[in-house]
Structure 1
């Protein structure tokens, strides 16, 4: 299912290549049925749980899935002894991370994405043990194509610059190559379903 990224020398350059890649990946994800996405999400959650145990990661930033993304909420029940932090979006492309212990603590936030409620305590991003990154696409060596908002780019260039990063995606989101820019930070690892 892997393929080459559109070349950045095409008309419109790098931004156009990234837009085309995002469109292609959305099409691939749309071809997956809900049961397949759920099964792959559970497999990815099991792998993240094993990673957290192996590396003794206690404070882990994850995200509440948008449609078509890996669902990481099962981790709350799989490993209740860990601290799970979810992003809250602020003006200026800034994210803060707040501890969520169960699904009832979410509210509907920006772009109808589930976010931590007002009672969820914040942790400075630099104190996290691991940040699990969403993305439109990844390469096996950790290059990432985000969704274009720049929220994680801002975070990773600032307060969380030294925190280990794990990208998560469905296998159809893995590509051989991706167009990258100087500010794009690679994930330390990429976790997907079926990959050993």
Structure 2
């Protein structure tokens, strides 16, 4: 039986999904340019050489421009591939063909490296439906990133990539939910105070 937090999450996700769906092409283009600039700034400020990121879906803030920039500079990039057991496999970004995983998420067509390949990255970029000002992330409900982040030893900085209006005062939280260290939005980079 769903509890109150789960019901509130479901309602909030539906609202945020609808906001994304109705964004105009012009709004998306402006957001993409600004987000790419801020992602480049974050990667440069942190002097990353190895990152875990993701290929955005059509409704998500676009990540491909940043991934191309990172690849051109020789930054190693891993992208997630969903597995049936609820874990994420990781595959190198190669800028080539894209496929879809079992959930219909865009993935690279490169070789799968397994769940522990993410260990040793300098930065993790994650998708989110929304993020609260205290750093708690509202994902899309499957728990893949929460499991990954919760299992990592020595987790590097984790930033969610969201639109400005998806940074909210609070999100419903359950025991398994993992916070992020900051967000990257079209308006800039926000790093949360350490807990």
TM-score, with normalisation over the residues of structure 1?
0.85
Aligned pair partner of 2:53 in 62, 80, 86: 62
- Which residue number corresponds to residue 92 of structure 1? 85
Check if 1:36 corresponds to 2:36: no
Q: Could you tell me how far apart the structure 2 residues matched to 1:45 and 1:144 are?
A: 21
Correspondences of 1:6-155 after superposition (within 5 Å): 12-79=3-70, 80-81=72-73, 82-102=75-95, 104-119=96-111, 124-155=117-148
Write the distance in 2 (CA, Å) between the matches of 1:93 and 1:60.
21
Structure-2 change in CA distance of 1:42 and 1:161 (3 Å): farther
Number of equivalent positions: 185
Which segment is superposed worse, 88-97 or 77-86?
A: 77-86
> Contact conserved, 2:31 with 2:163, CA < 8 A, in 1?
yes
What's the secondary structure of 1:132's corresponding residue?
strand
Structure 2 spans left out of the alignment, 5+ residues: 190-195
1:158-177 equivalent positions in 2, closer than 5 A: 158-159=151-152, 162-177=155-170
Name the structure, 1 or 2, with higher relative contact order (CA <8 Å, separation 6+): 1
- Cα offset for 1:119? 3.5
In the TM superposition, structure 1's runs of 4+ consecutive aligned residues that sit over 6 Å from their partners are none
How many angstroms does 1:183 deviate by? 2.0
TM-score, reference length from structure 2: 0.86
Q: What is the match of residue 7 of structure 1?
A: none
Structure 1, unaligned runs of 5 or more = 1-10
Contact 1:155 1:161 in 2 (8 A): no
